[in-house]
Amino acid sequence: MARLVLLLWYLGTLAAFRQASAVEYTALNNASSTAGGARFDGEIGTEYTKKVMNSSTVCIWQIFQELTSEDRRDVQAVSVFIESMEGVAYALIDTNEIHVSSEYIGNYSGDVKNEITGVLYHEMTHIWQWFANQEAPTGLTEGIADFVRLKAGYAPSHWVKPGQGNRWDQGYDVTAHFLDYCDGLLSGFVADMNKKMKTGYSPQYFVELLGKTVDQLWSDYKAKYGN
Ligand SMILES: *[C@@H]1O[C@H](CO)[C@@H](O)[C@H](O)[C@H]1NC(C)=O
Ligand SMILES: *[C@@H]1O[C@H](CO)[C@@H](O)[C@H](O)[C@H]1NC(C)=O
Ligand SMILES: *[C@@H]1O[C@H](CO)[C@@H](O)[C@H](O)[C@H]1NC(C)=O
């Protein structure tokens, strides 16, 4: 039985890899002449970036349990642009573009390759996740993107610790740790939540999946960590 489950898992993984190669990945450094752009070329590079776009895609499909193309957003190609801009990075889901700041790369102190890998996992999640026809709280969609980054092992040291934060929908690391708690109560919770968000959003989804309101879950979560 265990062997059969493993075999099915393996076949599922193979199928995911095969389909991942059908997506076209491009990466372009439009800031090569800047200090941050040069650091990108020296320490990260477009070839590595395309590899991460691929591996993150496979990882996201696994976490979302979207192993067939019918389950997923119809995305044929994703592009990453390194360019001089403010902020860190953003994704445009109408054109499936990710823009990453060369200035952020230039100023980053520490392992910039690891940091940008984590940023790419976050932005690639935006490419694949459902936005509930724009009804989803931004804190939830940003939290799901950081949940994927956390699960992939790219949570940076500057993140808050589990149990920290003021609101469940604060977004990013705060919501990612909360979603990880929810996923611990029901394995596949984030996958189920994302599936529900294909068509819309309701706070009732938490009750349907976990039997408690999101406010009750948040206070249970805070109590668990003594906060
Ligand atoms: C994506 O990764 C898989 C598994 O490592 C590989 O077989 C495939 O060629 C890759 N596709 C692209 C476009 O990089
Ligand atoms: C990046 O550079 C290419 C080639 O010079 C250009 O076509 C494209 O519009 C630029 N993209 C961005 C986002 O700046
Ligand atoms: C650091 O950030 C500032 C402000 O965005 C920018 O002007 C500067 O070029 C950046 N430094 C590097 C090395 O990229």
- Which ligand is closest in space to the CA of residue 102? 3
pLDDT in tens, 64-85: 999 899 999 999 999 999 999 9
- pLDDT for 1 equals 44
Give which of 169, 197, 200, 201 is closest to 182, Cα–Cα: 169
> Which residue puts its alpha carbon closest to atom 3 of ligand 3?
103
Q: What percent of the chain has pLDDT over 90?
A: 88
pLDDT in tens, 142-187: 999 999 999 999 999 999 999 999 999 999 999 999 999 999 999 9
CATH code of 1-128, in short, is: 1.10.390.10
Q: Tokens at residue 8, please?
A: 């099915």
CA of 84 relative to ligand 2 center, distance in Å: 11
Q: Is 77 in the pocket of ligand 3 (CB under 6 A)?
A: no
- pLDDT for 14 equals 54
Give which of 193, 196, 171, 195 is closest to 182, Cα–Cα: 193
Q: Is 26 in the pocket of ligand 1 (CB under 6 A)?
A: no
Q: Which atom of ligand 3 is nearest to the CA of 34?
A: 14
Q: Any idea which of 8-22, 89-103, 170-184 has the lowest mean pLDDT?
A: 8-22
Q: Is 36 in the pocket of ligand 3 (CB under 6 A)?
A: yes
CA of 1 relative to ligand 3 center, distance in Å: 56
Query: In whole angstroms, how far apart are CA 139 and each of 59, 92, 178?
Result: 22, 17, 11
Sorted by where each begins, the domain ranges of the chain are 1-128, 133-227
> Which residue puts its alpha carbon closest to atom 8 of ligand 3?
103
Give which of 135, 166, 162 is closest to 146, Cα–Cα: 162
CA distance 186 to 211: 11
